[in-house]
Amino acid sequence: MSELLRFATAGSVDDGKSTLIGRLLFDSKSIFEDQMTSVADASERMGLDAPNLALLTDGLRAEREQGITIDVAYRYFATPKRKFIIADTPGHVQYTRNMVTGASTADLAIVLIDARKGVLEQSRRHAFIASLLRIPHLVIAVNKMDLVDYSEDRFNEIVEEFGSFAAKLDISDLTFIPLSALNGDNVVARSEHMTWFEGSSLLHHLETVHIASDRNLIDARFPVQCVLRPQTEEFHDYRGYAGRVASGVFRSGDEVMVLPSGFTTKIKRIDTFDGEVDGAFAPMSVTLLLEDEIDISRGDMICRPQNQPTSAQDIDAMVCWLADETVLSAGSKLSIKHTTRTARAIVKNLKYRLDINSLHRDESAETLQLNEMGRVSIRTTLPLFFDEYRRSRETGSFILIDEATNATVGAGMILGET
């Protein structure tokens, strides 16, 4: 059985993200001949000497014309051990919202650093965003080692420099790998040029990093997506609650509580199209049948009576603002989507804006503009059933929607009740 690992690549422009992805795809034989031909043709038309592997992921006309990555591209490859989904994210500040799109579901992030340039503002910003989004594993890939003579000293300098910054962040698993994406050193196989490095190659790390325990299997949470009532002869009284387990484990026979009503009952059965299951865990999509008839609808949350999410209308969260035409400020009214619940929200206040580079908190700030982040207190029209984001990405996250333009304008990570 092969597992799925999602990872995002980030880093400053020209640090070698696209080259690295090209290398991983190439060495795992996931680049096809026609793709290679089309890249070679395009490179030639652009007057390049060698095929530019970046063209594999920079798929939009505008990206090719400008030679930059604007939006996240998804690529897929597999080894006998795992199947991988790569989100190749843009490095420029103005496309941060596209970066968070790609990174929000990642199990692991790779931040590339050019060995010659060392830790740049972009590298810090990306590492910070990765920690804020609580991507469980972070790899700092010190690239272009071939251009610094594969120097151990240079690598250690960067490890130290980044390490002192990382100490201020909340990163649970941090790994440094020196590599040359261009030549393939430490990408798939361990490099002969860097025998001083005792860690594993990047691909080996991706194949073996332990992700099963990243999921929250403790807090049983089941946001109801819809109610299934076939009303056919065969399933006359069938009433199932369809959804995806957000975290934790549910078993038939478990005592459960339904929010907001607070009624308790037991799980009668857990159904899937492929048959009844004894239990369901995140991220399985199943249908729960309950012992008692309770009024339950979309947006309700099924949990355990002794382990409930916080239910509140006043919520503090870190918010990343994603809109260029509007700003967030006290008094902003927005639509909020959290699990399967939609409500309206008003921003009570902006406690501080965070300078992503210095991590300084600016408490005098009155707005959040495009790609800025800050701690915000909101009040919602309905209670939300949430956990702290650090405990559960599924029940701790929300998006904010502009009610006039319908655009997704904010991404929120819940800190707790105000």
Partner 1 sequence: MGCGETIAIFHLQCCGGVVAELAKACGTSLPFLPLFWNGCVVNYELSHLKTLESESIHIIREVAAEFERPVLLFSGGKDSIVMLRLAEKAFWPAKIPFPVMHVDTGHNFEEVYEYRDRRVAELGIKLVIASVQDSIDSGKQVEQKGPRASRNQLQTMTLLDGLEEHGFDAAFGGARRDEEKARSKERVYSFRDEFGQWDPKNQRPELWSLYNGRHLRGEHIRIFPLSNWTELDIWQYIAEDGIEVPNIYYAHEREVFERDGMLLAVTEFVTVMDGEKPETRTVRFRTVGDASCTGAVESDARTVQQVIDEVSATRVTERGATRADDRASEAAMEDRKRQGYF
Ligand X SMILES: Nc1nc2c(ncn2[C@@H]2O[C@H](COP(=O)(O)OP(=O)(O)O)[C@@H](O)[C@H]2O)c(=O)[nH]1
Binding positions for ligand X, rule: CB under 6 A:
11, 13-19, 54, 143-144, 146-147, 180-182
The CB-of-17 to Mg ion minimum distance in angstroms stands at 5
Q: How far is the CB of 347 from partner 1 (least distance, A)?
A: 18
Q: Which of 11, 22, 51, 243 binds partner 1 (CB under 8 A)?
A: 243
Nearer to ligand X, 196 or 235 (CB): 196
CB of 224 to Mg ion, least distance (A): 41
Q: Which of residues 172-201 bind partner 1 (CB under 8 A)?
A: none
Among 304, 344, 351, 390, binds partner 1 (CB under 8 A): 304
**Shortest Å distance, C-beta 145 to ligand X:** 7
Nearer to Mg ion, 17 or 338 (CB): 17
Q: What is the DSSP string of 289-346?
A: EESS-----TT-EEEBTTB--EEEEEEEEEEEE--SS--EETT-EEEEEETTEEEEEE
Q: Which two tokens stand for residue 140?
A: 């700092």
User: Which of residues 364 and 406 has its CB atom nearest to partner 1 in the complex?
Assistant: 406
147 binds, among Mg ion, partner 1, ligand X, none (CB under 5 to 8 A by kind): ligand X
Output 184 or 279, the one with its CB closest to ligand X. Answer: 184
Of 253 and 260, which CB lies nearer to partner 1 in the complex structure?
Answer: 253
Q: Which residue lies nearest Mg ion, judged by its C-beta?
A: 18
Applying CB under 8 A, does 206 fall inside the site for partner 1?
A: no
Closest distance to ligand X from the beta carbon of 123 (Å) = 11
- Work out whether 225 is an interface residue with partner 1 (CB under 8 A): yes
- Is residue 108 packed enough to be buried (19+ CB in 10 Å), middle (13-18) or exposed (0-12)? buried
Q: Least Å distance between CB 122 and Mg ion?
A: 13
**61: CB partners within 8 A, 6+ apart:** none
CB of 116 to ligand X, least distance (A): 9
Choice between 54 and 206, CB closer to ligand X? 54
Q: Give how many residues touch partner 1 by CB under 8 A.
A: 93
Residue 325 has a CB neighbour count (10 Å cut-off) of 10
Burial class (CB in 10 A: 0-12, 13-18, 19+), 43: middle
Q: Least distance in Å: CB of 158 to partner 1?
A: 30
Q: Which of residues 66-95 bind partner 1 (CB under 8 A)?
A: 70-76, 78, 82-83, 85
Smaller CB separation from partner 1, 21 or 138: 21
Among 98, 123, 131, 186, binds partner 1 (CB under 8 A): 98
One DSSP character per residue, 254-273 reads -EEEEETT--EEEEEEEE-T
Residues 30-69 that bind partner 1 (CB under 8 A): 32-35, 38, 41-42, 56-57, 59-62, 64
DSSP secondary structure string for all residues of 232-257: SSTTTT--EEEEE--BSEEETT-EEE
Site residues for Mg ion, 48-67, by CB under 5 A, read 54
Query: Which residues 6+ apart lie within 8 Å of 24 measured at CB?
Result: 30, 77, 86, 187, 188, 202, 203
The distance in angstroms from the start CA to the end CA of the chain is 44
Query: In sequence order, what are the beta bridge partners of 408?
Result: 401
Tally of CB atoms within 10 A around 90 = 24
Q: How far apart are CA 25 and CA 86, in angstroms?
A: 10
* Subset of residues 322 to 351 that bind partner 1, contact rule: CB under 8 A: 322, 335, 337-338, 340
398, 384, 378, 387: which is closest to 314 by C-alpha?
378
CB of 277 to partner 1, least distance (A): 5
| 69 lies in the site for Mg ion, by CB under 5 A | yes
| Nearest by Cα to 74 from 84, 63, 66 | 84
Question: Is residue 275 close enough to count as binding partner 1 by CB under 8 A?
Answer: yes
State the minimum distance, in angstroms, from the CB of residue 157 to ligand X. 18
Interface stretch with partner 1, choices 177-185, 194-202, 250-258, 354-362 (CB under 8 A): 250-258
Q: Fill in the amino acid letter for 323.
A: A
∠ CA 394-249-293, nearest 5°, is 95
Q: How many other CB atoms are found less than 10 A from the CB of residue 377?
A: 17
Place of tokens 């972070």: 138
Question: Contact, 334 vs 410, CB < 8 A?
Answer: yes
